[in-house]
Chain A
Amino acid sequence: MLLGVVFDNPETLQKIVLILNTILLIGALLVYEFAFAHASKTKKKRFKLLYPILFVMVGILGYAAYKQGGA
């Protein structure tokens, strides 16, 4: 990546991405509840691999909520 534009992200696109982010987070919670919540420890370990990604998604959601409150 050099000094130019990475990609355009107008406000409409930001809103779409934030909605998608929320949907993905809800999806992740449902997957955990139905497939991993009552599973063995070994199986639960697999889900732990997704923690960093989920952490970033929660961060995006938190930032969006903060912006919404500030506006």
Chain B
Amino acid sequence: MHRRARGAAIPAGTTGRFFTGFLSNPFAADRWIHLKAEAIEHKQCIAAALTIIGSLLGAQMLLLSLPAVGAAANALSLVLLVGLTLRRDKLRSMFVAASVVPMAVFAALALPQHSNAAQAAVLYGTLAALALAYRRMLPTAKSRKKKTKPNYLFAVPAMLATGAVLGTVSYAIVGDYQSLGAMSLPFAAGMLAGFAVIEEFYFRGVLQRYVRQDVGPTLSVAVAVAAFTALTLPAGNIGLTAVAFITSTTLSVAYRLQTNLILTTVTNVTAKLTLLACIALVA
């Protein structure tokens, strides 16, 4: 039988970590159990995040191809997320925060609207109302890390530049399909700026925040990006979905690095207004 020589290197990876624990800790069995419990909890967190991503994307995709089935899938997604909120104590904040998306889609589908602006207003109004309610109701864990104030003198111009680039890229991808229609320019600008603020408040300030609190920062980026991209799927425009994916990935990563809602809001508002300016200038 092969034996590890005394003083030889411990193999890298999880097995190695368990092995080190056994060698150095007199309460090796306790440590083993603790590490195993940690691994199981990590797997449960990944499963929970994947459940949210799968249910949101699946329901919105079905809404595009089979609207009636998609509406039922949205209802099922809502029931699933609400059920998990009631069942899972540790992860309830993230599940209830995610259930806002199918509820907002449900509200926008249920009410008759005479224009795109009215439809978007119902969707975003519901998102804003529920986000405000949950931001107030859900508990926030206090971070042990000392909060450092970002250097706004550098950060704001950097975010403005990022927003302008995002807006230009968005125009390059979907500029041909977008038009002001009957809307006046100031109304469209105000509407898009308002939507950008609501998007940041819900997708970063509520969803990403509580998912990060419950399962960790990397999974929180994935969930926020998937939820935002899912909302654009029923429009059936691959360009719009690509723009939503690029924008939300940039903003979610920025929020993960800085944890500052003001900076991401500035970026999103700049991106939307740059796109609008491009549309108005070319038209």
List, in ascending order, chain A residues with CB within 8 A of B199's CB: 1
Give the Cβ gap from B102 to chain A, nearest Cβ, in Å: 10
Query: Which residues does chain A contribute within 8 Å of B72, judged by CB atoms?
Result: 16, 20
Tell me which residues across on chain A come within 8 A of B86, comparing CB atoms.
Answer: 31, 35, 46-47, 50
Interface residues of B in 45-89 (CB under 8 A from A): 63-64, 67-68, 71-72, 75, 78-79, 82, 85-86, 89
From the candidates A6, A49, A50, A63, name the one contacting B111 in the complex (CB within 8 A).
A63
Contacts of A11 in B (CB 8 A): 112
Q: Find the A residue at minimum CB distance from B119.
A: A6
The interface residues of chain B lying within 8 Å CB-to-CB of A50 are 82, 85-86, 96
Closest Cβ of chain A to B174, distance in Å, is 7
Number of interface residues of A (CB under 8 A): 39
Cβ 8 A contact of B119, one of A9, A10, A51, A64? A9
Would B92 and A9 count as touching, CB distance under 8 A?
no
The answer to whether A9 and B107 touch across the interface, beta carbons within 8 angstroms, is no
A6 touches B106 (CB 8 A): no
Q: Are B234 and A56 in contact (CB under 8 A)?
A: no
* CB atoms of A52 and B133 under 8 A apart: yes
B71 touches A16 (CB 8 A): yes
Provide the residues of chain A in CB contact with B170, threshold 8 Å.
Answer: 2
B75→A53 contact, CB < 8 A: no
**A21 near B120: Cβ-Cβ < 8 Å:** no
Q: List 29 A-B contacts (CB under 8 A).
A: A2-B174, A2-B192, A3-B116, A3-B178, A3-B179, A3-B192, A6-B108, A6-B231, A7-B63, A7-B234, A7-B235, A8-B67, A9-B113, A11-B112, A12-B68, A13-B71, A16-B71, A17-B109, A21-B110, A31-B86, A35-B86, A48-B137, A49-B92, A49-B138, A50-B82, A52-B129, A52-B133, A60-B106, A60-B111
